[in-house]
Copies of this chain bind each other. A is one copy, B any other.
Amino acid sequence: MDINFMKIALDLAKKGEGQVSPNPLVGAVIVKDAKIIGKGYHKEFGKNHAEINAILDAKDPLLGATMYVTLEPCTVFKKTPPCVDRIIKEGFKRVVIAQKDPNQAINGNGIKRLKNAGIDVEVGILGEEACKLNAFYNYNMKTKKPFISIKAAMTFDGKIADMRGESKWITSEDSRNLGMYLRFIHDAILVGAETIRHDNPHLDIRGYEKKRPYYKIIISKKLYIPENLNVFKTSGETIIFCGKDADQISIKNLEDRGVIVFQNKTSSNIDADFIRNKLFEKGIGSILIEGGASVFANFIEPNAINRMYLFYAPIIFGKGVSAFGKITPRYINNPMKLDICEYKRIGTDFFVQGEVCSPD
């Protein structure tokens, strides 16, 4: 019974995808006499939390009811008052929680406060599912770094472009639609300068209405960036990273056009940590890296990748640009490993989602 209600709460939470970051996804269900009397989820950053939406949705009196909520209710004043106070005030008898909040400001305090108020509290029902759902948030809270995913569309032989560098339309339309969804659920999309110069992508999100600020990030050591790029024409903010060799006039020109420029003043390279830190400071909790091979290597080598989304199209190029060909070789006794979350056929392509296993 508890599991069924929590499952509904988790499904509700998922509806907030793409809209609540850097907040977590949360869903809540209110049950009285084994009947659902209220449902809610966190719909948009800064707006009501799931618990409050469920309370507002309920038509029957709440005294003695049970709340199923996917994450520990908050105890802090931020954009909204603490949910814990409201739950206590409404006279709930029992609160079932899937996951303890990893945020240090809350972590266990919500549970303690509910218990002290005489409410029965149960924690861990579908806890694993809840943790998966909030993988980005949990990682952010734990490490103070953005969660980083790689998306690569390849041929069956692992090539992201042919020998001439052509890479558009390797995978099918269905795969590209899923690619849009992946952009939607992340806070930012990141590509390298070569990808920008060669493919001139829009880096926009088609088919989804995103209400959160949305970032398009380019890495360009020397800032050789043409002026008429498509990326400057689409909505969302553009951030460019450059190294110490980039000239100040180019930086000034870009800034005048509204682009945010971060320069690594100590090196001509821009390492993954520099990027992670700057972006996390800007409130970016998740990044989708779309290429190319140099950028992949730049993040994979220092072990800065959390997840991979790999699309394979049923074609073979022979020689071409290997997705991971710029990574220092790993050997059979110590390869880079992925924990597979999903294998899925998408039209004629196949799709894999895996979490990168940290070394050791």
Contact = CB atoms under 8 A, between A and B. Distances in A.
B162 A323 contact: no
Given A156-B352, A350-B352, A162 B338 contact: no
A329 B157 contact: no
A331 B318 CA distance: 9
Contacts of A169: 332
A272 to B, nearest CB: 16
A159 interface: yes
A163 interface: yes
Interface residues of A, number: 51
A168 B318 CA distance: 22
Interface in A138-173: 154-159, 161-164, 166-170
A314 B339 contact: yes
A110 B141 CA distance: 74
Interface of A: 154-159, 161-164, 166-170, 297, 300, 308, 310, 312, 314-320, 322-333, 335-340, 343, 345, 348, 350, 352, 354
Contacts of A166: 331-333
Contacts of A348: 340
Contacts of A167: 332
27 contacts: A154-B158, A157-B322, A158-B158, A162-B331, A163-B329, A164-B331, A168-B332, A170-B332, A300-B318, A312-B312, A314-B338, A314-B340, A314-B354, A315-B336, A315-B338, A316-B330, A316-B336, A316-B338, A317-B329, A318-B324, A318-B325, A318-B326, A318-B327, A318-B328, A318-B329, A318-B336, A322-B322
Contacts of A322: 157-158, 322
Scoring A322, A345, A354 by chain B CB atoms within 10 A of each residue's CB, the highest score goes to: A322
A322 to B, nearest CB: 6
A163 B332 CA distance: 9
